[in-house]
């Protein structure tokens, strides 16, 4: 007696077997799942130093301040004011506004005061497409303060907006 | 010789020679190839090759042998006939019985050997060179990783004296800071290397410095283990983030030095 | 009652009982409050329902729901989800199926046209028949391609509405030409297929040519969309320092700056080239699998001979296209590296490095399978024992190259193994894991496969050329010289005096020496075996069944390989929809494990083979005899039916 397997069965077995073999190869190599970097998170217990760090990351990343518009303390061409030493200048730029209030105003209502010699063109940072939250703006203010002065903003600071 | 374990390799070659001389049949050759290569991969190197690689090689060997045995009717017959004779003919009874005992015994021994092997941390596929970020900020200076290059490299062409100066500075920094782990000859075998897991990078290796752009090396020096992405885990490298101890210039100098010392050129920008 | 009726009855019964079971089960597990029968009766009698607090509650709830639904503002969805499998897997599988069918539909006309052309030039009818046989597979596959294309488009719009909208923003001007070309594709395809033998040969060849032109144009447009997602812009030396700078086709916020740059982006051409070649290889292997399927089904020697030949030609097409594919792949990878170091390292050394070890296993299997089929093919011809002794050496060369290519750059090693090696790479094997070793291996693989072809060509023939010995020796010398050059560059690359940049550039002379050798040997071979004396008859159809299964194995490996490489091309972007511009913020943004990816690829391949089985079956119908009534009784009954 000769045992014979019908052709379609053999073919299905070949297809399943080959696929299973390749899938098995895929299972024995190192398995690693890579997750995208988490968005910058601000937790309640952060100190002013932490805020400065986050503010810098925001300015470089989500806030797009540095990539597109501003320089920090370098003399290259810039369409918008240089941010180098802004922490020092901020307190005296507008009479009646403290440095924190002035910086907050520049972020929430950029058109309210435009540095002489520059054009009005900045987007409000709390609106799309940037859409920074209030805490994130606090962090950016802290970072701006740190450029030329000592930051004082905490998460409790009232920005007035 | 060439890292081969001659005690194993020479007898294998001798057996092959005997097989050629005695005009061994196909089945004998197939069995010899399989067993001989197994022995070669397992014991043939002074520094044993990792189990995972040996498995890949043996799998390929097995596939090739099956292909060979069935590549024509005649050869298939040559291969199968001795086996059929062994099973059918009465005069091979004893050999058959021996085989029927030996095969399960071999399998049993394999299980025993597997279970009694000392437990070890599993071999994770840690990424030795994880992908770099697209931008790198060192000391408030942001570099585009794709286009950044060693700022002092061009001195090699246009100002050999300045180049020599940067190199000398790099040498000083290397032997003040790096050689403890990376070694006198940069072989990744410094005096502290044996206590570290993962082991320090071997800069002599043909597959390390030359395949990396110098911006990549700068990234690794500046950010160290704390700057490794998730792919560089599960073990934490002991490499410090040197940006906390060295200036940017010093880091580029040492970068220059380790390339120069090993006679390698960094992978060029946008190179194919 | 006939057997069919009983079966039908059982089917209906089973269907009804399933429904009844489900309804009954649903009724029993339902724990919704039901009013007692008695109360219903009272309500019906009095005509009014008692206002219980519960009923009041239900009514209030409904009202509240309705009010809430009215008050809810319309929100633009960024993503929608598919239960169980997830959005990404849905789009992934649909796109892959669409691509597999599309690749087949684009590839078959290329070689059908070439085979028809050969038939036209040589005047041999069998080529024309073969080309028609290939074309038969097209019409059903074309519908499948369109169906999955539409399915994929819907899936994208439903599941990734915001991102799809963004792609519309960039590429809306390209959609109309795409649709028009698709119309033309249908026109040329059906006129080419149905017009077989109805037009003059030149007109028909023209239709085939136009079919290819239009098909390629369609693919080029679609390639622009997907390569834009990987490389949204070009590299150009803007500041004149000799280093190409990245010029984005879109602004920081993603708005389109230049459609031209977005369309002709950095990786567009490499993908085009890679895909055309890969499509032909894939199409050839699938067509060969069809022939194998028919061969195994065949009941007479004539059919067997025909489909054996068809399988041989399909496999020949696949392998010829497969030989340059590694080079096209290296070109694409090199361009990706040149575009972004991050992507390049990600691909070859990072998350995806193990994928390329899998790829090596697949490609090694493909080469092994193709050579194996050729060796078995020598069994068709009488008096080939002379050639069999070469097989051993070819096999050793192929296995060695396969092993080199599958050597991982960094092996998985346990702690003690790492300690013994003194690092993550083995002192000797480290050389084999390098690019130059792998380049050498793939070049030798190609040369060996080419030699298998040459050997196959020689079987059953003796040259009658007056200078046959000299010519044959020249061929051997050219072959040996090419192999020696390839190995020399491979080994010399590691010499101390060679820096890495030069070492990588050694790949170029390697490729050229292999290509030159193949061309030169072919040029010598043509006159050498012109009008050669036949020493053994080629008996098409005299093949062991295992050879046909080898063809199906090759087709499977090709399909799986395409699925895997499709994954790496798309997965390389990681959490980006458009690399560096549009971030994927959906729950599927992470990069899955390789094991998971291979599972999806396997499922896709199985679905594809199920569907292609249907295509094969439908195509084989046309060769079957017309249906006839089984018996006189049945014929009578039919006649009565008509009369009534």
Q: In the listed set C534, C552, C581, which residue is the last one of a domain according to the structure?
A: C534
Running DSSP on this structure, what letter comes out for residue B129?
S
User: Is B122 inside a domain boundary?
Assistant: no
Is there a single domain that holds both residue C170 and residue C191? yes
Helix axes C87-122, C161-194, angle to 10 degrees: 20
Q: Is the pLDDT of residue C638 over 60?
A: no
Is there a single domain that holds both residue C189 and residue C318? yes
Mean pLDDT taken over chain B: 84
User: Is B128 inside a domain boundary?
Assistant: no
Identify the bridge partners of residue C461 per DSSP, sorted by sequence position.
C534
Considering only the beta carbons, identify the residue of A29, A35, A60 that sits closest to B125. Answer: A29
User: Is C483 inside a domain boundary?
Assistant: yes
| Residue in the block written with tokens 């014991």 | B43
Is there a single domain that holds both residue C405 and residue C281? no
CA distances from B108 to B98, B103, B112 (A): 15, 9, 6
Whole-prediction pTM value? 0.76
User: Is B158 inside a domain boundary?
Assistant: yes
Range(s) of the domain holding residue B225? 135-262
Within 10 A of C230 (CB to CB), how many other CB atoms are there?
23
Q: Looking at beta carbons, which residues of chain A come within 8 Å of B135?
A: 60
Is there a single domain that holds both residue B97 and residue B147? no
Is there a single domain that holds both residue C356 and residue C503? no
Is there a single domain that holds both residue C334 and residue C452? no
Running DSSP on this structure, what letter comes out for residue A34?
B
Q: Looking at beta carbons, which residues of chain B come within 8 Å of C412?
A: 50, 52, 123-125
Q: Which residue has the higher pLDDT, B9 or C533?
A: B9
Within 10 A of B127 (CB to CB), how many other CB atoms are there?
23
CB within 8 Å of chain A, chain C residues 602-641 = 602, 605-606, 609
Considering only the beta carbons, identify the residue of B209, B264, B270 that sits closest to C244. Answer: B270
User: Is C299 inside a domain boundary?
Assistant: yes
Q: Looking at beta carbons, which residues of chain C come within 8 Å of A68?
A: 252
Q: In the listed set C475, C510, C534, which residue is the last one of a domain according to the structure?
A: C534
Q: Looking at beta carbons, which residues of chain A come within 8 Å of C342?
A: none
User: Is C451 inside a domain boundary?
Assistant: yes
Instruction: Report the CATH number at residue B207.
Output: 1.10.760
* Poorest-pLDDT segment among B196-200, C325-329, C578-582: B196-200
Q: Looking at beta carbons, which residues of chain A come within 8 Å of C358?
A: 22, 25-26, 29
Q: Which of B248, B264, B234, B34 is nearest to B142 (CA)?
A: B248
- How much is the pLDDT for C433? 79
User: Is C402 inside a domain boundary?
Assistant: yes
Considering only the beta carbons, identify the residue of A30, A34, A60 that sits closest to B124. Answer: A30
Element (H, E) at B84: helix B73-88
Q: Over range C267-288, report the average pLDDT.
A: 94
* Poorest-pLDDT segment among B116-130, B255-269, C325-339, C376-390: B116-130
Q: Over range C66-81, report the average pLDDT.
A: 88
CA distances from A6 to C129, C294, C312, C543, C605 (A): 29, 14, 24, 18, 23
Percent of chain A surpassing pLDDT 90: 9
Is there a single domain that holds both residue C354 and residue C435? no
What is chain B's length?
Answer: 272
User: Is B123 inside a domain boundary?
Assistant: no
- Residue-wise pLDDT tens digits, A52-104: 888 888 777 665 555 456 777 665 556 677 787 888 888 888 878 888 888 88
Q: How far apart are CA B180 and CA B240, in angstroms?
A: 12
Identify the bridge partners of residue B143 per DSSP, sorted by sequence position.
B136
CA distances from C635 to B176, C80, C631 (A): 102, 57, 6
Contact C269, C539 (CB under 8 A): no
Is there a single domain that holds both residue B182 and residue B65? no
User: Is B244 inside a domain boundary?
Assistant: yes
Structure confidence at residue C276 as a pLDDT band (50, 70, 90): very high
Q: Is the pLDDT of residue C545 over 60?
A: yes
Q: Is C589 exposed, middle or buried (0-12, 13-18, 19+ CB in 10 A)?
A: middle
Structure confidence at residue C410 as a pLDDT band (50, 70, 90): confident
Q: Which residue has the higher pLDDT, C494 or A19?
A: A19
- Residue-wise pLDDT tens digits, C244-260: 677 888 887 788 888 99
Q: Which of C203, C347, C314 is nearest to C552 (CA)?
A: C314
* Poorest-pLDDT segment among B52-56, C86-90, C201-205, C382-386: C382-386
Structure confidence at residue C634 as a pLDDT band (50, 70, 90): low
Is there a single domain that holds both residue C440 and residue C530? yes
Contact C376, C550 (CB under 8 A): yes
Report the gap between the CA of A27 and the closest CA in chain C (Å). 5
C251 at interface of A, judged by CB pairs closer than 8 A = no
Is there a single domain that holds both residue B68 and residue B95? yes
Q: How far apart are CA C247 and CA C203, in angstroms?
A: 45
B231 at interface of A, judged by CB pairs closer than 8 A = yes
Q: Residue B198: is the preceding peptide bond cis (ω within 30°)?
A: yes
User: Is B220 inside a domain boundary?
Assistant: yes
Q: Is the pLDDT of residue B268 over 90?
A: no
Is there a single domain that holds both residue B192 and residue B247? yes
Total domain count, chain C: 2
Token pair in block for residue B166: 């940067």
Q: In the listed set B81, B116, B151, which residue is the last one of a domain according to the structure?
A: B116
Range(s) of the domain holding residue C492? 385-412+423-458+461-534
| Residue in the block written with tokens 């099956």 | B66
* Inter-chain CB proximity C368 and B270 less than 8 Å: no
Is there a single domain that holds both residue C496 and residue C563? no
User: Is C563 inside a domain boundary?
Assistant: yes
Q: Which of C141, C110, C317 is nearest to C210 (CA)?
A: C110
Is there a single domain that holds both residue B66 and residue B11? yes
Structure confidence at residue B271 as a pLDDT band (50, 70, 90): very low
Is there a single domain that holds both residue C572 and residue C469? no
Q: Over range C72-79, report the average pLDDT.
A: 86
- How much is the pLDDT for B270? 42
User: Is C65 inside a domain boundary?
Assistant: no
Sign, CA dihedral B164-B170-B176-B179, equals negative
CB pairs under 8 A between B and C: 200
- How much is the pLDDT for C639? 54
Total domain count, chain B: 2
| Residue in the block written with tokens 């399998």 | B107
User: Is C23 inside a domain boundary?
Assistant: no
* Inter-chain CB proximity C598 and A30 less than 8 Å: no
Report the gap between the CA of A156 and the closest CA in chain B (Å). 28
Q: Over range C443-471, report the average pLDDT.
A: 83
Is there a single domain that holds both residue B78 and residue B12? yes
For residue B20, which phi and psi values (nearest 5 degrees)?
A: -65, -45
Is there a single domain that holds both residue B139 and residue B258? yes
Considering only the beta carbons, identify the residue of B137, B140, B231 that sits closest to A32. Answer: B231
CA distances from C468 to C308, C388, C473, C620 (A): 31, 21, 8, 45
Is there a single domain that holds both residue C329 and residue C374? yes
Is there a single domain that holds both residue B108 and residue B139? no
Q: Is the pLDDT of residue B54 over 60?
A: yes
∠ CA B47-B48-B52, nearest 5°, is: 140
* Inter-chain CB proximity A25 and C598 less than 8 Å: yes
Alpha helices in chain A (DSSP H): 7-28, 48-60, 65-68, 86-93, 99-108, 134-146
Is there a single domain that holds both residue B26 and residue B108? yes
Q: What phi-psi label fits residue A160: left (phi over 0), alpha (psi between -120 and 50 degrees) or beta?
A: left
Q: How far apart are CA C552 and CA C547, in angstroms?
A: 9
Contact B136, B149 (CB under 8 A): no
- How much is the pLDDT for A106? 86
Q: In the listed set C484, C505, C534, which residue is the last one of a domain according to the structure?
A: C534
Identify the bridge partners of residue B144 per DSSP, sorted by sequence position.
B135
Report the gap between the CA of B53 and the closest CA in chain C (Å). 7
C280 Cβ neighbours under 8 A, 6+ residues apart: C107, C110, C111, C317, C318, C321
Q: Looking at beta carbons, which residues of chain A come within 8 Å of B230?
A: 34-35
Q: Which residue has the higher pLDDT, A41 or B258?
A: B258
Report the gap between the CA of A29 and the closest CA in chain B (Å). 8
∠ CA C110-C115-C118, nearest 5°, is: 130
Q: Over range A43-50, report the average pLDDT.
A: 78
- E strands, C428-467, are 461-462
Q: Strands B141-144, C245-248: parallel, antiparallel or unpaired by DSSP? A: unpaired
Q: How far apart are CA B205 and CA B208, in angstroms?
A: 6
Q: Looking at beta carbons, which residues of chain B come within 8 Å of A72?
A: 140
Q: Which of B18, B12, B76 is nearest to B38 (CA)?
A: B12
Q: For chain C, percent helix, then strand, then coil, each to nearest 5?
A: 75, 5, 25
């Amino acid at each position: 007696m000769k045992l014979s397997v019908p052709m379609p069965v053999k073919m299905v077995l070949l297809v399943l077997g080959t696929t299973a073999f390749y899938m098995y190869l895929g299972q024995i190599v190192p398995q690693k799942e890579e997750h995208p970097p988490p968005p910058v998170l601000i937790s309640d217990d952060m100190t002013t130093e932490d805020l400065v760090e986050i503010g810098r990351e925001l300015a470089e990343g989500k806030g797009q301040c540095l990539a597109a518009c501003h320089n920090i303390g370098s003399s290259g061409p810039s369409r918008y004011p240089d941010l180098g030493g802004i922490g020092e200048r901020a307190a005296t730029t507008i009479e009646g506004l403290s440095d924190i209030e002035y910086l907050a105003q520049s972020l929430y209502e950029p058109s309210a005061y435009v540095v002489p010699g520059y054009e009005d063109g900045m987007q409000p940072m709390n609106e799309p497409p940037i859409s920074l939250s209030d805490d994130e703006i606090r962090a950016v203010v802290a970072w701006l303060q740190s450029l030329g002065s000592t930051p004082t903003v905490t998460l409790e600071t009232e920005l007035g907006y | 010789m060439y890292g081969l374990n001659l005690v194993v390799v020479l007898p294998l070659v001798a057996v092959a020679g005997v097989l050629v001389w005695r005009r061994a049949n196909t089945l004998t050759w197939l069995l010899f190839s399989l067993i001989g290569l197994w022995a070669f991969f397992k014991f043939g190197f002074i520094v044993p090759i990792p189990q995972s690689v040996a498995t890949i090689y043996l799998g390929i060997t097995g596939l090739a042998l099956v292909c060979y045995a069935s590549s024509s009717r005649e050869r298939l017959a040559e291969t199968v006939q001795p086996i059929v004779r062994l099973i059918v003919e009465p005069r091979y009874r004893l050999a058959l019985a021996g085989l029927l005992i030996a095969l399960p015994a071999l399998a049993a021994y394999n299980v025993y050997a597997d279970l009694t092997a000392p437990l070890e941390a599993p071999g994770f596929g840690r990424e030795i060179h994880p992908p770099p970020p697209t931008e790198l900020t060192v000391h408030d200076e942001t570099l585009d990783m794709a286009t950044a290059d060693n700022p002092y490299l061009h001195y090699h062409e246009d100002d050999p004296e300045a180049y020599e100066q940067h190199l000398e500075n790099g040498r000083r920094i290397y032997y003040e800071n790096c050689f403890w782990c990376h070694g006198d000859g940069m072989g990744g075998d410094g005096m502290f290397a044996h206590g570290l897991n993962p082991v320090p990078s071997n800069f002599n290796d043909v597959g390390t410095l030359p395949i990396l752009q110098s911006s990549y090396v700068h990234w690794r020096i500046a950010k160290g283990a704390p700057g490794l992405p998730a792919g560089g885990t599960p073990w934490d490298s002991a490499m410090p983030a040197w940006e906390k101890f060295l200036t940017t210039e010093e880091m580029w100098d040492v970068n220059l030095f380790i390339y120069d010392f090993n006679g390698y050129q960094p992978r060029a920008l946008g190179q194919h | 009652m006939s057997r069919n009726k009983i079966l039908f009855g059982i089917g209906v019964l089973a269907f009804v009982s399933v429904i009844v079971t489900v309804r009954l089960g649903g009724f029993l597990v339902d724990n919704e409050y039901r009013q007692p029968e008695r109360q219903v009766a009272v309500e019906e009698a009095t005509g009014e329902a008692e206002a219980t607090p519960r009923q009041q509650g239900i009514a209030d709830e409904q009202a509240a729901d309705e009010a809430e639904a009215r008050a809810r503002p319309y929100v633009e969805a960024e993503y929608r989800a598919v239960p169980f499998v997830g959005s990404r897997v849905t789009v992934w599988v649909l796109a892959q199926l669409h691509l597999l069918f599309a690749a087949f539909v684009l590839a078959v006309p290329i070689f059908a046209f070439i085979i028809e052309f050969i038939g036209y030039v040589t005047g041999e009818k069998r080529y024309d028949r073969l080309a028609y046989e290939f074309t038969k597979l097209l019409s059903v596959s074309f519908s499948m391609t369109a169906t999955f294309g539409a399915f994929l488009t819907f899936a994208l719009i439903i599941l990734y509405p915001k991102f799809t909208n963004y792609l519309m923003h960039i590429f809306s001007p390209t959609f109309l030409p795409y649709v028009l070309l698709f119309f033309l594709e249908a026109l040329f395809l059906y006129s080419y297929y149905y017009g077989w033998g109805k037009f003059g040969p030149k007109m028909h060849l023209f239709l085939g040519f136009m079919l290819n032109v239009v098909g390629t144009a369609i693919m080029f447009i679609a390639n622009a969309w997907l390569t834009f997602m990987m490389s949204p812009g070009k590299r150009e030396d803007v500041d004149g320092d000799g280093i190409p700078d990245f010029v984005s086709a879109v602004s920081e916020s993603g708005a389109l700056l230049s459609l031209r740059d977005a369309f002709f982006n950095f990786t567009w051409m490499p993908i085009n080239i890679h895909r055309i070649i890969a499509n032909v290889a894939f199409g050839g292997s699938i067509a060969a699998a069809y022939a194998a399927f028919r061969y195994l089904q065949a009941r007479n020697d004539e059919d067997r001979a025909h489909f054996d030949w068809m399988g041989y030609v399909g496999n020949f097409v696949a392998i010829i296209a497969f030989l340059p594919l590694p080079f096209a792949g290296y070109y694409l990878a090199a361009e990706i590296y040149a575009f972004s170091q991050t992507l390049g390292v990600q691909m070859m050394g990072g998350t995806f490095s193990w994928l390329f070890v899998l790829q090596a296993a697949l490609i090694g299997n493909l080469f092994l399978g193709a050579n194996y089929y050729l060796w078995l093919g020598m069994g068709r011809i009488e008096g080939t024992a002379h050639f069999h002794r070469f097989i051993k050496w070819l096999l050793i060369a192929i296995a060695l190259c396969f092993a080199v290519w599958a050597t991982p750059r960094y092996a998985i090693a346990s702690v003690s193994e790492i300690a013994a090696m003194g690092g993550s790479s083995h002192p000797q094997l480290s050389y084999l894991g390098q690019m130059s070793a792998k380049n050498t291996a793939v070049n030798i693989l190609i040369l060996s496969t080419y030699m298998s072809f040459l050997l196959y060509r020689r079987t059953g023939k003796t040259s009658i050329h007056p200078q046959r010995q000299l010519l044959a020796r020249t061929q051997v010398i050219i072959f040996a010289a090419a192999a020696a050059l390839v190995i020399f560059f491979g080994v010399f690359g590691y010499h101390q005096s060679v820096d890495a940049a030069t070492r990588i550039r050694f790949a170029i002379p390697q490729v050229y020496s292999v290509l030159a050798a193949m061309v030169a040997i072919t040029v010598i071979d043509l006159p050498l075996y012109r009008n050669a004396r036949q020493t053994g008859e080629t008996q098409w159809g005299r093949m062991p069944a295992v050879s046909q299964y080898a063809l199906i194995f090759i087709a499977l490996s090709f399909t799986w390989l395409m699925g895997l490489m499709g994954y790496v091309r798309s997965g390389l972007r990681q959490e980006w929809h458009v690399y560096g511009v549009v971030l994927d913020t959906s729950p599927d943004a992470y990069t899955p494990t390789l094991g998971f990816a291979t599972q999806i690829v396997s499922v896709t391949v199985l679905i594809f083979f199920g569907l292609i089985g249907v295509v094969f079956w439908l195509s084989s119908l046309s060769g079957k005899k017309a249906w006839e009534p089984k018996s006189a009784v049945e014929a009578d009954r039919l006649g009565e039916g008509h009369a009534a």
